[in-house]
Structure 1
Amino acid sequence: MKIPRLLQGRRGPVLSIFLLLLITASVAYWQLRPSAPSTPATGAAASMLEALQDSTEPWQTNRRDLSVLMGDLRGATIASAALGKDAVYVNLHDGLRYWVPDQSGRVAGLLLDHYAQGSGELFPLAMFQTDAEKPFYMVLLPYSPIALLLIGAAVFFAMKTRSFEVQRKGSGVTFADVIGAAEAKQALRDVTAYLRDPAAYARLGARPPKGVLLTGEPGTGKTQLAKALASESNASFIQVTGSDFSSMYFGVGIQKVKALFRTARKQAPCIIFIDEIDGIGKRSEQTRSSDAESNRIINQFLAEMDGFDGAAGVLVLGATNFPNSLDPALVREGRFDRSIAVGLPGLDDREALFRLYAGKITAAAGLDFPQLARNTVGLTPAAIAYIVNHAALLAARSGAKQVDMAHFVDAVETCRIGEQPSGVTPMSATDRKRIAVHEAGHALVAAALNVGRVEKVTILPRGQALGVTLVTPVEDKRLHMYSELRNRIQMLLAGRGAEQLYFHEVSSGAGQDLQEASKIALSMVGALGMGPRGSLLSLQAVRDAHLDSDPREALEAADELLQQLNQECLALLQRLKPALDHITERLLAVETVPGEEVLAAIERLPAQHHEASVSSIIGHALNSIDRVAASAMDSTDSFELSPMVSSEPEDDGPTRL
């Protein structure tokens, strides 16, 4: 029988609410049920009780003290009386009504003693609103706020520790729907076979994997691979995130971990997919109470992974962009047995992705998908999906009926170099020329050193940059040579060098360039053994060994490398001076120059310009290269240099940059 949608993953809260409603209905029935008929009371006492139940005001207006009551007792003038919880009500023979306060109950005690010792005819005495006549819930009424608080806390705790939502028998996504990631899909084939028939592994004595870790850059499709694995394995699928186990209430996170694995065992074969598993974190010294709770959550997670049998049909699949942030005890063998890197899509994969997403919009016929794939080297599937969607938005903005190639090209440029802002304040002629010189220097050095394909150069603002040189890689590369990294640094320094060559001072527009160049230089010196002094020591290894190190030597070596490359860049710019003049004039005239024109300007250079050396640089440029300019340029240029060298080593070896 199919479980109603309301109850899926919510059985705990629903049962708690149902139980609460059942108790409420039982109490209501107990109080409202018809009682057995009783013989009505008669006489003065009954009449007095009826009058008191209607209103006690006739008695409350006449307050007397104990002496009056005792006098009436001795004088036998009392017609009837009633004992209440905190008062004694009296009717006299002459019709007078009054009351005597009795907070402690002593007045009622004296009255009863005198009543018991009296002789002759006794006056009627009744009981009015005493504890014996109260319903049982009136006794509990003062404690109702505490009871309601406890019930609310129990319901809240049940909702916080409720069972996780389970997608039974797959997620609807298969490996065929995931374009690219061929290596990752091949590595998941063994996992698929295990989930389909875990008993076969148990018969052979093989221990199937308990956990698989997916690593890679954001947007490479790790979540889609997890969903596809569930469908291919015909297994149930539970998707959570690392932050789901965090809570401001003590102990809730541990209960969530227990509930997660308990649900997975019931739904076996089942895949527990924990996205952003680095949110669980690492165990640390318990300097704060939050650290202690985080450590308990990790310990409980480790205990749960060790607790289930390998043939139980439960697999923990984790995904993270920061594998170094995981606790070493979590990713050791026997828990997460396999680590699968999900890489960037290749040329054919990018073309297939463009065809897939273009089929979901109203695209024009004859789109050049191979060209789009070549211009998006280093982009993730998520970025390609954004490009296609942004192209559709651009077409809708312009009122076009179809999304054509121009919209796609503009979307690619927007993804790489930012949106073209509207309503920009016009720049002065001096700033405009400085930007043109800066961008021409980037473009010419990039083309001369074959850093990449120069697509276009523009002095129109894009994003936060006042001008942009778009350089794309010509091929998918995972290895970068020493010469390639040096050329890339020279390209980054070329804008600053061109300003120095023309204006004999630099501006703030090279700030982002220096930052990126410094990252590459520090990586070459501290991690890749490519420093100018020949040092092969890795600073990351020193940090991992928890050794104290002085970074001044590495910083000095990186600065020395940057100074050498800056001189080489200035020498190259001096040789390219005629082409630099031409591209600068063209930028000032038309604002945007295609990459083909940059290459043509270099080809037209005379042969003697290619043979110049560093000594041909004018001395004034070298002497004042470190001066800081007071320029109006407060923005920085943005360049797409994918894949960018990271200062931190990658997981799959020191050769991947």
Structure 2
Amino acid sequence: MNNNPQPQGPENPPPPRNNWSKSFVVWMAIIFGLVLFVQVLSPADPNADATKIGYSEFMEKVDAGEVKAVNIATGNSGNASISGTYNEGDETFTTVAPAGTNVADRLVEAGVDVQAREEEQGSIWQYLLLQSLPFILILGISFFIIRQMQKNAGGGAMGFGKSKARMLTENRQKVTFEDVAGIDEAREELQEIVEFLKDPNKFARLGGQIPKGALLVGSPGTGKTLLARAIAGEAGVPFFTISGSDFVEMFVGVGASRVRDMFEQAKKNAPCIVFIDEIDAVGRHRGAGLGNGNDEREQTLNQLLVEMDGFEANEGIIIIAATNRPDVLDPALLRPGRFDRQVVVPRPDIEGREKILQVHMRKVPLAPDVDARVIARGTPGFSGADLANLVNEAALMAARKGKRLVAMSEFEEAKDKVMMGAERRSMVMTEDEKKMTAYHEAGHAIVALHEPASDPIHKATIIPRGRALGMVMRLPERDNYSYHRDKMHANMAVAMGGRVAEEIIFGYDKVSSGASGDIQYATKLARDMVTQWGMSDEMGPIQYEEQQGETFLGYSQSQGMNVSQETARKIDAEIRKLVETGYDRAKQVLTDHGDELETLAQALLEYETLSGDEIKTVLAGGEIDRGGPTGPVIPAAGSSIPKAGKRKPGGIGGPATA
């Protein structure tokens, strides 16, 4: 499955840019223009550098004959503004004569050169502009801030309740069924929706109605979102996408308003597809929360139920939702007329994994030795996202090595990294720790080889990977959908093999804590056999442990066992009996094949990592050929490698015994 974004071009325009910086520059230019405009209208003061003196001081200087010339300007208030110069120097002065003072005659008598003028008065508009400029600036800045907040909130002052659904048209990031592989059954089941969107009359002629909604159920990474986009791409209709968490807000009624707005947008673009990802965020079982249930999430769910099957028919609107928790959904969502069709999107089998790998390998330059079938056989339980991550990791490894092509060796390294974790070669281990780890992992491997029901060994290593100091990885020969009793007993024996090897080689007092994960795995397996799968002769085919259930707080956890104390003691005894039986089987195997344990442990100390075939060669007395690379390393020449993604931890493939 191809999760990589489409290249940008005429048919795939880039997403719209954020105009925040552009708006900020525009508003700053407007403010600068207003300030400049005011500066132009404001008259320049010719006496800005003159010394201000009092009127009495001015008359004293006039009487003393120190004043040379003055300029008198009379204003509307009657006061006279006087500016002038002295007889000596270039210093100028200003003062104000009170109204009614006959200052001009007195200056003339003193021999001062007197000039008179009227004081220039600004217009009423200029006065109003100067007085209102601060308020204009405050309002402008406030309007700019509010506008940006409305944009970030999604749609204006009244847009708080608007839908956050994003519409992808058919020409943008188009995905078709060619990009979806490994889930043929789910794709065929949804093909009918595509035909309806292309030709609705084909079904209407016979009185048939297309399902209003389809619920895609599957584990994370199986391609539910990609499958929904492929339906829209094949039908050539608008595709609205939204997450279930986008409806839920802290304010009651906002989610319901967003649901109404989303359906209004869909009606305007019908026929179209509305895809709700992680619908369990809003569609959880009503009444599971605290209080009377009249909260925001439940009102949002009620509005969604009404829109999907209310009095008004939503013709041409197909609702597709995805979840990996169908057990927590409200029953009203799953009834006919709403999500009529539930489509299971499973993890792909070997054929599906091969097709998925071929889809992701299209953009990667491959060496001639790469075989998608071999990689698919060695990756049981991988989802589409896991396989995409594997191809990406292989491409990155080849790039780090400076290669032009991605070879099979990079895919093997990437598979080990995804399955067992990255190697921690920088971790410092003492010789005693390495020796104990080697015998521990050799114990797992020897028991696995001599247990007929055990899966074949893929690889054994004493190099720390992930959280383990060493690991034995087993891979099944084919995809397994159920486990038999003999296989479970074999897995418990293999899990106890490391602990038994430590006890045989180093003694009872030197047993380490390295088998904690193995003991946890064996105990859980034994408990499931007794309490859920009815594989205990003493307890019989009865289920004692209840299934996972939802508590009143909304969290899912085990309800425990509703049994008597006597029955609980019997269950504990049966669990211990199964684990001890596995311990005894592992001890018997390692006691009978102590020479093989020693040989394999020494080989692990020498080579650190051995494949399944190399383990068989070592035990058969053969030599391991660790030749160098078959050819020179060719430096990369501008090869483009996609960005690596993260894979969530999880149990994939056969049991990894640490």
1:223–1:319: 8 Å Cα contact kept in structure 2? yes
The question of 1:184 aligning with 2:186 is answered: yes
Q: SS of 1:91's equivalent?
A: coil
Residue 511 of structure 1 deviates from its aligned partner by: 1.8
1:456-486 Cα distance to aligned partner (Å, 9 max, x none): 2222222221111010111112122233233
Matched residue, 1:457? 460
2:307 partner letter: E
The residue aligned with 1:169 is: 170
Gaps of 5+ in 1: 33-49, 63-78, 84-88, 97-126, 605-637, 646-657
1:330 maps onto 2:333 in alignment: yes
Q: 1:343 aligns with which of 346, 351, 366?
A: 346
Q: CA separation in 2, counterparts of 1:219 and 1:522?
A: 29
Given that 2:371 and 2:408 are in contact with CA atoms closer than 8 Å, whether structure 1 keeps it comes out as yes
Partner of 2:543: 537
Equivalent-residue separation in structure 2 for 1:352 and 1:401 (angstroms): 24
- Indicate the residue corresponding to 2:82 in structure 1: none
CA distance in 2, matches of 1:303, 1:61: 84
2:581 to 544, 564, 568: 568
1:164-213, Cα deviation, whole Å (9 max, x unpaired): 43222375322232111011112112222222233444454433212111
The CA deviation string for residues 522-543 of structure 1, in whole angstroms up to 9 with x for no partner, is 4334433334512523633584
- Do the aligned residues in 2 keep the contact of 1:444 with 1:580 (CA within 8 Å)? no
Pair 1:285–1:358, CA change in 2 (3 A)? closer
What's the secondary structure of 2:342's corresponding residue? strand
What displacement does 1:227 show? Answer: 1.5
Which residues of 2 match residues 350-389 of structure 1 at below 5 A? 350-389=353-392
Q: Which moved more, 1:329-338 or 1:155-164?
A: 155-164
CA distance in structure 2 between the partners assigned to 1:572 and 1:415 by the alignment: 31
Q: Which amino acid aligns with 1:337?
A: D
Q: Tell me what 1:617 maps to.
A: none
Shift of 1:600: 7.5
Report sequence identity in percent.
30
Aligned AA for 1:207? Q
Q: Distance in 1 between the 2:423 and 2:482 partners?
A: 33
TM-score (norm 1): 0.68
User: What residue is the counterpart of 1:481 in the other structure?
Assistant: 484
Q: Whole-Å Cα distance in 2 between the matches of residues 92 and 262 of structure 1?
A: 78
- Which residue of 588, 592, 600 corresponds with 1:586? 600
Cα 1:641–1:287 shift into 2, 3 Å: closer
After superposition, where does 1:181-220 map in structure 2 within 5 Å?
181-220=183-222
Q: Distance between the aligned counterparts of 1:389 and 1:542, measured in 2? A: 36
Aligned positions of 1:147-546 closer than 5 A: 154-159=150-155, 161=162, 164-169=165-170, 172-247=174-249, 252-280=254-282, 282=284, 283=286, 292-307=295-310, 312-429=315-432, 431-447=433-449, 448-502=451-505, 503-505=507-509, 506-531=511-536, 532-534=538-540, 536-537=542-543, 539-540=545-546, 543=549
Rounded to whole Å, the distance in 1 between the matches of 2:267 and 2:226 is 23
CA contact (8 A) 2:282 2:297 kept: yes
Residue 5 of structure 2 corresponds to none
2:474–2:654: 8 Å Cα contact kept in structure 1?
no
Offset at 1:319?
Answer: 1.4
User: Which whole-Å CA distance do the structure 1 matches of 2:75 and 2:532 have between them?
Assistant: 104
Quickly say closer, same or farther: Cα 1:248–1:313, change in 2 above 3 A: same
Instruction: Check conservation: 1:165, 1:238, Cα contact below 8 A.
Output: yes
Asked whether the equivalents of residues 599 and 619 of structure 2 are also in contact (C-alpha less than 8 Å), the reply is no
Using the TM superposition, give the Cα deviation of residue 351 of structure 1 relative to its aligned residue in structure 2, in angstroms.
Answer: 2.4
Structure 2 counterpart SS, 1:539 = coil
Structure 2: any 5+ residue segments left out of the alignment? 1-9, 56-73, 79-96, 105-120, 553-557, 622-648
Q: What SS class does the counterpart of residue 480 from structure 2 fall into?
A: coil
1:587 partner amino acid: A
Deviation of 1:358 after TM superposition, in Å, equals: 3.2
- The alpha-carbon distance between structure 1 residues 560 and 309, as it changes in their structure 2 partners (threshold 3 A), is farther
AA paired with 1:565?
L
CA contact (8 A) 1:169 1:230 kept: yes
Letter of the 1:476 counterpart: D
Distance 2:460 2:44 in 1: 100
Worse-matched range after superposition: 164-173 or 315-324: 164-173
One-letter amino acid of the counterpart of residue 439, structure 2? V
Residue identity matched to 2:351: D
Question: For 1:511, what is the secondary structure of its paired residue?
Answer: helix
Question: What is the CA-CA distance between 1:241 and the residue it aligns to?
Answer: 2.1
CA shift, 1:642, in A, is 3.1
Q: Which amino acid aligns with 2:477?
A: V
8 Å contact from structure 1 (residues 457, 470) kept in 2: yes
Give the helix-richer structure, 1 or 2.
1
Deviation at 1:247, TM superposition (A): 4.6
| Secondary structure, aligned partner of 2:309 | helix
Alignment length (residue pairs): 542
SS class of match (2:416)? helix
CA separation of 1:424 and 1:231: change in aligned 2, threshold 3 A: same
Q: Secondary structure at the match of 1:312?
A: coil
Structure 2 CA distance for partners of 1:584 and 1:187, relative to 1, 3 Å: farther
Q: Following the alignment from structure 1 to structure 2, what is the Cα–Cα distance between the partners of residues 51 and 355?
A: 79
Q: CA deviation at 1:563?
A: 2.1
* d(CA) in 2 for partners of 1:490, 1:387: 31
Farther-moved stretch of structure 1 (154-163 vs 335-344): 154-163
The structure-2 alpha-carbon separation of the partners of 1:555 and 1:596, relative to structure 1 and needing over 3 Å to count, comes to farther
Q: Which amino acid aligns with 1:595?
A: G
- For residue 247 of structure 2, what is the amino acid of its counterpart? F
CA RMSD of aligned residues (A): 5.0
User: 1:398 and 1:152 mapped to 2: Cα distance?
Assistant: 48
Equivalent residues of 2:237, 2:273 under 8 A apart:
yes
Distance 1:228 1:402, change over 3 A: same
| CA distance 1:60–1:584, change in 2 (3 Å) | farther
Partner of 2:653: 642
CA distance in 2, matches of 1:204, 1:510: 65
Over 3 Å counting, the alpha-carbon distance change for 1:132 and 1:380 in structure 2 is closer
Q: Work out whether residues 198 and 311 of structure 1, in 8 Å CA contact, stay in contact via their aligned partners in 2.
A: no
- Partners of 1:252 and 1:470 in 2: how far apart? 51
Q: Secondary structure at the match of 2:409?
A: helix
What is the Cα deviation at residue 238 of structure 1? 1.7
- CA separation of 1:51/1:361 partners in 2, compared to 1, >3 Å: closer, same or farther? closer
Cα-to-partner distance string for 1:622-649 (whole Å, 9 max, x where unaligned) = xxxxxxxxxxxxxxxx99663789xxxx
Does the aligned pair in 2 maintain the 1:269–1:314 contact within 8 Å? yes
Q: Which residue matches 1:650?
A: none
Contact 2:212 2:317 in 1 (8 A): yes
